[in-house]
Amino acid sequence: MMKTMNDSKLPPSRVAKHIDALPNSGIRDFFELVMTMDDVISLGVGEPDFVTPWGIREATIYSLEKGHTSYTSNLGLLSLRQAVCRYVKENYSVSYDPVQECIITVGVSEALDLILRALLEPGDEVVYHEPCYVSYPACIQMAQAIPVPVTTKQENNFSLVADELRQKVTPKTKVVLLNFPNNPTGAVLTCDQKSEIAKIAVDNDLIVITDEIYSELTYEDQCKSIAAFPGMKNRTVFLHGFSKAYAMTGYRIGYACGPKDLIDAMMKIHQYSMLCASIMGQEAALEALQHGKNDRELMKSEYLMRRNLIVKRFNSLNLTCVNPQGAFYVYPNISSTGLDSDFFAKSLLQEKNVAVVPGTAFGNHGKNYIRCSYAVSIDDIELAMTRISEFISEV
Amino acid sequence: MEKKEKILELLQKNARLTTSELSERLNIDIEEIESIIKRCETENIIRGYYTLINEDNYHIKKVRALIEVSIRPERDGGFDRTARNIGKFPEVTDVMLISGNCDLQLIVVGENLNDVANFVAQKLAPLDGVLSTRTHFILKKYKEAGFQFENDEDYERLKITP
């Protein structure tokens, strides 16, 4: 649109400066574009294509049938917190007290917001890795702190290199925010890498927030949580939830485990803002932990097959693609096409009706990458890859 | 899981998967997949491949009955000989030895009610070793071999999510 003289006379924004400064999510613009089109095959989804397993849905219905429609304790149902702490101990080798060291939240998103607001003051720095989930830098800014990205690279399988992290640590650094398995790259951390990062945290007296939402979707051996490394339990906040492992995104149930003082602080914000997560969601989550293992494993083996297929296809198109060890995304490099990712994604959508998300949505270094989700049926993956292949040959 | 188990699990859900599709999904060479399937066929682990038809949506509808059969076990071989002989009738599609009030459970198929009734009266009941039969006609099938015959309504997710 042409800039008119009147623009300069606009009244100053009424919105708080730190909110006004937030960029619009890149994924949002793309979403609007996709919504205008029919018959799109989408590899742009960030949630499982499976419907929540029937046993869990049935437990939700039963919860309603019993008339469980009230608030719960602010921290969440004690039975769920107990089940969560047992699960975390068995699978991530770190013990938490369900009474004092665990809080149930409205998805991991709320848990992340709570812990950032609880910890950060203006001027504090948070080191995180890019490409990353779209909310991280924004959530850090909303907590009035400064986001400091470390770029993870294809040659390192998009894993976080400890030395590169160390270089970003300053006296103002208060928090390191980790997300492995990673959205959008599917990268994971090895035990050695976790150990090195833990050492940096201890040496520099940093708090580590680890978002483990994709951790059940780890296709090779999984290492214990970074919270289980020496000196780490008291400086780690472990965030997790039910959305990805149990296909429960719409339930919005997450949790945080961590040292008592930090859970208390999160609890303060949570009780005044959210109050509690929905009780039927919490009861469904309990059912997931008690009886959901089989369904979880079935979905995981399905994702693994899809990963094998999609990685092979991308590499055969010379869109080189690290074999992701976790989550349900591939992050192919499209530089062989000579197109940047925004243009690639838009043209692919308009010409072939296939939606992928441009890498730029996940950070500043994404212009050579696109994110493709394989949380879609094998048939749709086959069809999408055939169309992508046609698209590339016509570029 | 072993390669053989993975392959069989997939084929059990979809027998039409080609060896190259299996190869791409499981990251196993095509040649190896072919040889594993061949071996399963020779070893009688894979007994056959068939197509599941939802007759509710098909103009040819057959009549099927679940039949409970009590039989007299034999000194050598128990129930096996009689069960195998019952299974030789082409009308009988399934034969299972079960625990409980009877010994065998069959599924018998015919063009119509009479067909099945005649089979029971003239072939099955008079068979040496058969003591009694109880026939239950199948009225509607909701699920078979892991497949629901009616799906829930499609529900569209958002096309793009973070």
pLDDT, averaged across chain B: 94
The shortest CB-CB distance from B162 to any of A27, A40, A49 is to A27
Q: Which residue range is the domain that position B61 belongs to?
A: 55-144
Residues of B whose CB is below 8 A from A35: 159
Q: How many CA atoms lie within 13 A of A141 on its CB side?
A: 15
CA distance B7 to chain A (A): 11
CA distance B12 to chain A (A): 14
Q: Is B160 on the interface with A (CB under 8 A)?
A: yes
The Cα A328–Cα A309 span in angstroms is: 12
**Domain membership flag for residue B48:** no
CA distance A362 to chain B (A): 9
- The residue among A291, A324, A358 that closes a domain is A291
Give the pLDDT of residue A8.
Answer: 60
Q: Is A44 on the interface with B (CB under 8 A)?
A: yes
Q: How many CA atoms lie within 13 A of A228 on its CB side?
A: 12
Q: Which chain A residue's Cα is nearest to B25?
A: A305
Query: Using one digit for the tens of pLDDT, what is the confidence trace for B58-99?
Result: 999 999 999 999 999 998 889 999 999 999 999 999 999 999
Tell me the two tokens of residue A271.
């009780």
Residues 376-395 of A with CB under 8 A from B: 378
Give the pLDDT of residue A7.
Answer: 56
- The residue among A257, A291, A325 that closes a domain is A291
**Domain membership flag for residue B121:** yes
Q: Are residues A106 and A190 in the same domain?
A: yes
CB contact under 8 A, B162 and A51: no
* CATH number for the domain harbouring residue B92: 3.30.70.920
Total structural domains within chain A: 2
The Cα B11–Cα B49 span in angstroms is: 9
Q: Are residues B62 and B22 in the same domain?
A: no
Contact A356, A370 (CB under 8 A): yes
Contact A157, A151 (CB under 8 A): no
* CATH number for the domain harbouring residue A240: 3.40.640.10
* Whether pLDDT at B120 is above 80: yes
Query: Using one digit for the tens of pLDDT, what is the confidence trace for B16-70?
Result: 999 999 999 999 999 999 999 999 999 999 999 999 999 989 999 999 999 999 9
Q: Are residues B70 and B36 in the same domain?
A: no
Residues B142-157, mean pLDDT to the nearest whole number: 88
Residues of A whose CB is below 8 A from B26: 305, 308
Cis peptide bond prior to A184, omega within 30° of 0: yes
Q: Are residues B136 and B103 in the same domain?
A: yes
Residues of A whose CB is below 8 A from B27: 308
Residues of B whose CB is below 8 A from A309: 24-25
Q: Which residue range is the domain that position A337 belongs to?
A: 14-51+295-394
**Domain membership flag for residue B160:** no
**Domain membership flag for residue A6:** no
Residues of B whose CB is below 8 A from A355: 159-160
The shortest CB-CB distance from A357 to any of B24, B155, B160 is to B160
Q: Are residues B31 and B74 in the same domain?
A: no
Give me the average pLDDT of each 10-residue run along chain A (395 residues).
56 90 80 88 95 97 97 98 98 97 98 98 97 95 97 97 98 98 97 97 98 96 94 98 98 98 98 97 98 97 96 95 96 96 95 96 94 96 97 93
What is the distance between the terminal CA atoms of chain A, rounded to a whole angstrom?
Answer: 29
pLDDT band at B154, cuts 50/70/90?
confident
CA distance B22 to chain A (A): 9
Residues of B whose CB is below 8 A from A46: 161-162
Q: What is the crossing angle of helices A54-65 and A279-291, to 10°?
A: 140
* CATH number for the domain harbouring residue A357: 3.90.1150.10
* Whether pLDDT at B13 is above 50: yes
Q: Are residues A88 and A204 in the same domain?
A: yes
Q: Are residues A112 and A215 in the same domain?
A: yes
- The residue among A223, A257, A291 that closes a domain is A291
Q: Which chain A residue's Cα is nearest to B154?
A: A51
Total structural domains within chain B: 2
| ipTM, two decimals | 0.86
Q: Is B29 on the interface with A (CB under 8 A)?
A: no
Give the pLDDT of residue A12.
Answer: 86
Q: Are residues A20 and A72 in the same domain?
A: no
Q: Are residues B68 and B103 in the same domain?
A: yes
Q: Are residues B74 and B15 in the same domain?
A: no
Give the pLDDT of residue B102.
Answer: 96
Q: Are residues A321 and A358 in the same domain?
A: yes
Q: Are residues B63 and B115 in the same domain?
A: yes
CB contact under 8 A, B157 and A45: yes
* Whether pLDDT at B157 is above 90: no
The shortest CB-CB distance from B159 to any of A134, A355, A361 is to A355
**Domain membership flag for residue B86:** yes
Contact B112, B17 (CB under 8 A): no
Query: Using one digit for the tens of pLDDT, what is the confidence trace for A181-203?
Result: 999 999 999 999 999 999 999 99
